[in-house]
A and B are shown apart, each in its own frame.
Chain A
Amino acid sequence: MKWELAHQTLANSTSKGYGYKIVVMLKNIRVLLAVVFLLLFAFIFVDIKHVVPEKFLFYFTRFQLAPAVLSTIAIGGFAVFSLIFILLITALFGRVYCSTVCPLGTFQDVITRIFKPKKKKRRFKYHKPNNWLRYALFAATAILLISGSALLLNLLDPYSNFGKIFSNLVRPVYMWANNQLAAYYGSSYTVVPVEIKGFQAAAIVYSIVFLGVVGFLAVWRGRLFCNTLCPVGTCLSLLSRKSLVQIHLDHEKCNSCGLCAITCKAECIDAKERKVDMSRCVGCFNCLSACKSNGVLYSIPSKIKDAKTSDSTDEKRRFILGGLIASAASLTGLKAFAEEEEHTGRGRGRGRGRGQGNRGEPVPVVREFAISPPGSQSHDHFNSKCTACHLCVTACPKQVLVPAFTQYGFMGIMQPRLDYGVSFCNYECVVCSQVCPTGAIIPLNNEEKKLVQIGIAHFIRQNCVVITDKTDCGACAEHCPTQAVRMVRHRNGLFLPEVTEEICVGCGACEHACPTDPISIYVDGNPVHKPAELPQTEAIDKEIDFDEFPF
């Protein structure tokens, strides 16, 4: 067998010190990657100055499992590649994903480290898995997803909840600090202040509760969240259980001292039985460096052990060559898999096709439907794909996107909606659709966006200042990018707004600008986005005499 050959070659060509170096290196690489990913993820969710390019956000976030899966279903493309990559890495090396690219995973490690007990022995000890709970939650998440709701992913996905915590709790603090700095450097105008707006009490409370739960679990029992509640962890555990390279205890070298188990935040090493539960191992490699007798191995648990042909002290080195060969072997099958994935096609929402909202409803405003971002196609599509990571909330230059409470119904809790009390949607902007990691918002370009009607403006005549005070206003029409709201001659030289629904894109500029209380013009969301017509214009036919002065 070629595996045996590879192992023998390694075994013969290496010295004792080499193996230890690899162990240390492995953990260092893991720590380095984890820190880099954690910092990057932390930054993109507080990036109020929008310094991170949209393209980077698009690709970077697709290396998170939940976005990769959803985006593969919704739009395919790059997500197919990243999904296969994540699954392949897990199948080869176990859940190293959980200790490197997962921002919430590393975030928990940081919390665990801050609150770690002074006595080393009290850190971690082996526990049996909560299999019933984790598989039930995973199954429920998957079933809900298939039946058209991303609710459980929304509530449990580590990436999305990391996003919620940073976008809703850290971002306002970051903004405040920025504004302090801006005030300090006031007269030079070098630091630009930002408006702290759009934050929702519900989202802040949710984030605090989630942070509290995850923080408690992390301090209490390490990666308990990852191994019971996290659907991503459970999904990957199905592969890591039988991964090619595994952590295992050498039955000859291991003296069951339990040093490895004390450092195992997944609490998956049973030192007495010399067993490691690879379905829960998050690939942090702490156990490797903790072992003083070279009894913890990270290698291919092949038949070699049975054959006893190789020097077991060098087994931990085998994974490198083995892994490489395995990768090469798997890569040949990659393309076919990719093509197969591509055929899963686009998940377009069917839409409910209910009413268009209320026209001319008496005061105050009653909004029937929430307004979902342009590119989200319909509430159904959006609710089924959005995990509420709030990347678009942070990225929106106008800060018009805010986390919903129950505006989409409970199933859409925390999913972003447009709040025209806070701001309005810039006509020439498609940032949210460009950064959305899950395909809940399908990418649009500026020209495509202008043809999408996310809602319709409704004028409430009896609230309008032109009617009540008989004075000109026109704030609504002034801000309307298509003149779907325009001022028409009323009486006594006054002008009154009029709405042309066909060319209204639902951007909410009119609603945001309206000065009356309650407002006189509002946008009701289209639960299924409709096509908007482009405003028709003809060139002005006017002869101009440049020599003439009319005064």
Chain B
Amino acid sequence: MKRRDFITKGVGAGIVAGSAASFAGIGNVLAGGQQGDTGKPYDLVAVRGGEPAQMFDLAMEAAGGMAKYVKKGQTVVVKPNIGWDVTPDRGANTNPHVVKRIVEHCFQAGAKQVYVFDNTCDKWDMCYKNSGIEKGVKDVGGQMVPGHTESYYHEVPVVKGKSLKTTKVHELILESDVFINVPVLKHHGSARLTIAMKNLMGVVWDRRYWHKNDLHQCIADYCTFHRKPDLNVVDAYRVMLRNGPRGVSVDDIADMKSLMVSEDMVAVDAAAALLFGEEPSEINYIRIGDEMGIGTSDLSKLNIKRIRV
């Protein structure tokens, strides 16, 4: 019954809720939080050399804490990359320890419920299980939500899109108060790299359309959709340097032991690209994202906190 109600009026309500949440985020930024040397809050926090959960703790401490993003009684959707039916050592999915820690932070901040999902490429339940994410999330009280049938997705307009005018988005993205995007940094055969912007391909239903109609432009287009992530957490602990996004074996992995958080998808993608060893301007969707004003890829303009563990 609730689902049906949602379909009729929910999309609009979701949009309103989404906008409200982003305004709340801005409010918090203005209100203060952690500040850098210049007195402004950090645009990006990068941590190196620690363990996944530990690095997330340090990053959030510098970024102003989860309470800045999650208010008491709110619902949170966490969107890691759980695309592949492989084990965590393969680095194809977001590190389960990071996801688990994020869920814990959300509950500590007073979240009513924390949902985790991905529109996976391999069989969804196998991905959830073998990635280790399902167990991590459930252990701390979060809820794994499926995203494998079209019934979960609702068509929304992408007003500023050039190639992508409409797309079907998972209801949790539209309904939840807070949206946390948790990509893993990986090589990607077609998009070159997959990080925060590319990770949002996992919240929509029809990815074929994106591939068919200028992939890079579609990735950037979707990032103009008003329900942007409130926070992006890039897991770069184990980084797949080739054969991405699925990878062939653990040989494709290098331990980078890094993690970055930012509200700016373009900035965090640019920083992660540099970490990977690629020029951000070479990655088309990052370049387009910067041009379309989704964020900035010019890291020199940003207030960055660097933490060495």
Residue pair B245, A478 in contact (C-beta under 8 Å):
yes
A407 located at the interface, meaning its Cβ lies under 8 Å from any Cβ of chain B in the complex: no
Question: Which residues of the other chain, A, contact B154 by a CB distance below 8 angstroms?
Answer: none
Residue pair A426, B149 in contact (C-beta under 8 Å):
no
Residue pair A187, B2 in contact (C-beta under 8 Å):
yes
A114 located at the interface, meaning its Cβ lies under 8 Å from any Cβ of chain B in the complex: no
> Which of A186, A194, A478, A548 makes the CB contact (< 8 A) with B246?
A478
Nearest-CB residue, chain A, relative to B146 = A192
Nearest-CB residue, chain A, relative to B144 = A189
Residue pair B190, A478 in contact (C-beta under 8 Å):
yes
Residue pair B211, A193 in contact (C-beta under 8 Å):
no
Q: In the complex, how many angstroms separate the beta carbon of B209 from the nearest chain A beta carbon?
A: 7
Known: A477-B189, A535-B248. Is A429-B123 also a contact (CB below 8 A)?
yes
Give Cα distance in the complex from A482 to B249, angstroms. 9
Give Cα distance in the complex from A513 to B120, angstroms. 12
Question: Which residues of the other chain, A, contact B126 by a CB distance below 8 angstroms?
Answer: 397, 426, 428-429
Residue pair A472, B190 in contact (C-beta under 8 Å):
yes
Most chain-A CB neighbours within 10 Å: which of B48, B242, B246? B246
Nearest-CB residue, chain B, relative to A487 = B189
B275 located at the interface, meaning its Cβ lies under 8 Å from any Cβ of chain A in the complex: yes
Question: Which residues of the other chain, B, contact A495 by a CB distance below 8 angstroms?
Answer: 189-190
B308 located at the interface, meaning its Cβ lies under 8 Å from any Cβ of chain A in the complex: yes
Q: In the complex, how many angstroms separate the beta carbon of B112 from the nearest chain A beta carbon?
A: 13
> Which of B208, B215, B216, B256 makes the CB contact (< 8 A) with A513?
B208
A515 located at the interface, meaning its Cβ lies under 8 Å from any Cβ of chain B in the complex: yes
Interface positions, chain B 1-23, Cβ under 8 Å from A, are: 1-4, 6
> Which of A398, A487, A515, A551 makes the CB contact (< 8 A) with B299?
A551
Give Cα distance in the complex from A317 to B287, angstroms. 89
Known: A189-B145, A471-B214, A537-B248. Is A478-B189 also a contact (CB below 8 A)?
yes
Q: In the complex, how many angstroms separate the beta carbon of A179 from the nearest chain B beta carbon?
A: 7
A473 located at the interface, meaning its Cβ lies under 8 Å from any Cβ of chain B in the complex: yes
A339 located at the interface, meaning its Cβ lies under 8 Å from any Cβ of chain B in the complex: no
Residue pair A427, B211 in contact (C-beta under 8 Å):
no
B35 located at the interface, meaning its Cβ lies under 8 Å from any Cβ of chain A in the complex: no
Give Cα distance in the complex from A70 to B286, angstroms. 58
Give Cα distance in the complex from A542 to B253, angstroms. 10
Give Cα distance in the complex from A535 to B251, angstroms. 11
Give Cα distance in the complex from A133 to B191, angstroms. 65
B304 located at the interface, meaning its Cβ lies under 8 Å from any Cβ of chain A in the complex: yes
Question: Which residues of the other chain, A, contact B306 by a CB distance below 8 angstroms?
Answer: 549
B49 located at the interface, meaning its Cβ lies under 8 Å from any Cβ of chain A in the complex: yes
Q: In the complex, how many angstroms separate the beta carbon of B2 from the nearest chain A beta carbon?
A: 4
Q: What 1/0 mask marks residues of chain B from 190 to 227 whose CB sits below 8 Å from any chain A CB?
A: 11000000000000000111011111110000000000
Q: What 1/0 mask marks residues of chain B from 121 to 153 whose CB sits below 8 Å from any chain A CB?
A: 111011000100000000000010110111110
B26 located at the interface, meaning its Cβ lies under 8 Å from any Cβ of chain A in the complex: no
Residue pair B208, A515 in contact (C-beta under 8 Å):
yes
Interface positions, chain B 143-198, Cβ under 8 Å from A, are: 143, 145-146, 148-152, 188-191
Residue pair A426, B122 in contact (C-beta under 8 Å):
yes
Give Cα distance in the complex from A179 to B255, angstroms. 43
Nearest-CB residue, chain B, relative to A195 = B149
> Which of A187, A193, A471, A513 makes the CB contact (< 8 A) with B149?
A193
Residue pair B251, A540 in contact (C-beta under 8 Å):
yes
Q: How many A-B pairs fall under 8 Å by CB?
A: 153
Residue pair B246, A542 in contact (C-beta under 8 Å):
no
Give Cα distance in the complex from A235 to B214, angstroms. 62
Residue pair A515, B209 in contact (C-beta under 8 Å):
yes
Interface positions, chain A 504-551, Cβ under 8 Å from B, are: 513, 515-516, 535, 537-540, 542, 544, 546-551
B54 located at the interface, meaning its Cβ lies under 8 Å from any Cβ of chain A in the complex: no
Nearest-CB residue, chain A, relative to B85 = A428
Residue pair B190, A474 in contact (C-beta under 8 Å):
yes
Give Cα distance in the complex from A486 to B191, angstroms. 13
Give Cα distance in the complex from A498 to B105, angstroms. 44
Nearest-CB residue, chain B, relative to A470 = B214
Question: Which residues of the other chain, A, contact B152 by a CB distance below 8 angstroms?
Answer: 193
Q: In the complex, how many angstroms separate the beta carbon of A461 from the nearest chain B beta carbon?
A: 16
Give Cα distance in the complex from A535 to B250, angstroms. 12
- Which secondary structure characterizes the binding site on chain A? loop
Q: What 1/0 mask marks residues of chain B from 228 to 254 whose CB sits below 8 Å from any chain A CB?
A: 000000000000011101101101111
Question: Which residues of the other chain, B, contact A493 by a CB distance below 8 angstroms?
Answer: 284
Q: In the complex, how many angstroms separate the beta carbon of B220 from the nearest chain A beta carbon?
A: 12
Q: What 1/0 mask marks residues of chain A from 387 to 401 whose CB sits below 8 Å from any chain B CB?
A: 000000000011000
B97 located at the interface, meaning its Cβ lies under 8 Å from any Cβ of chain A in the complex: no
Question: Which residues of the other chain, A, contact B254 by a CB distance below 8 angstroms?
Answer: 540, 542, 544
Question: Which residues of the other chain, B, contact A516 by a CB distance below 8 angstroms?
Answer: 212
Residue pair A542, B212 in contact (C-beta under 8 Å):
no
Residue pair B249, A189 in contact (C-beta under 8 Å):
no
A479 located at the interface, meaning its Cβ lies under 8 Å from any Cβ of chain B in the complex: yes
> Which of B1, B143, B150, B277 makes the CB contact (< 8 A) with A184?
B1
A481 located at the interface, meaning its Cβ lies under 8 Å from any Cβ of chain B in the complex: yes
Give Cα distance in the complex from A352 to B270, angstroms. 54
A273 located at the interface, meaning its Cβ lies under 8 Å from any Cβ of chain B in the complex: no
Known: A398-B123, A540-B254. Is A471-B216 also a contact (CB below 8 A)?
yes
Q: In the complex, how many angstroms separate the beta carbon of A447 from the nearest chain B beta carbon?
A: 13
Residue pair A547, B208 in contact (C-beta under 8 Å):
no
Question: Which residues of the other chain, B, contact A480 by a CB distance below 8 angstroms?
Answer: 246
A238 located at the interface, meaning its Cβ lies under 8 Å from any Cβ of chain B in the complex: no
Known: A189-B145, A472-B284. Is A546-B211 also a contact (CB below 8 A)?
no
Residue pair B211, A515 in contact (C-beta under 8 Å):
yes
Question: Which residues of the other chain, B, contact A189 by a CB distance below 8 angstroms?
Answer: 115, 143, 145-146
Known: A183-B3, A186-B2, A195-B149. Is A535-B249 also a contact (CB below 8 A)?
yes
Most chain-B CB neighbours within 10 Å: which of A398, A429, A477? A477
Give Cα distance in the complex from A179 to B152, angstroms. 12
Q: In the complex, how many angstroms separate the beta carbon of B259 from the nearest chain A beta carbon?
A: 12
Q: In the complex, how many angstroms separate the beta carbon of B240 from the nearest chain A beta carbon?
A: 10
The 8 closest A-B pairs by CB, nearest first: A474-B190, A186-B3, A546-B49, A515-B208, A515-B212, A537-B251, A477-B189, A487-B189
**Using a CB–CB distance below 8 Å, which chain A residues touch chain B?**
179, 182-184, 186-187, 189, 192-195, 397-398, 426-429, 465, 469, 471-475, 477-483, 486-487, 493, 495, 513, 515-516, 535, 537-540, 542, 544, 546-551
12 further interface pairs, Cβ-Cβ under 8 Å (given A465-B212, A469-B213, A479-B121): A179-B151, A187-B3, A397-B125, A427-B122, A465-B211, A471-B214, A487-B190, A495-B189, A495-B190, A513-B211, A539-B251, A544-B255
What would 14 A/B residue contacts be, using CB atoms closer than 8 Å? A186-B2, A426-B123, A428-B130, A429-B123, A429-B126, A471-B215, A478-B188, A481-B248, A487-B190, A493-B284, A495-B190, A513-B208, A537-B249, A544-B257
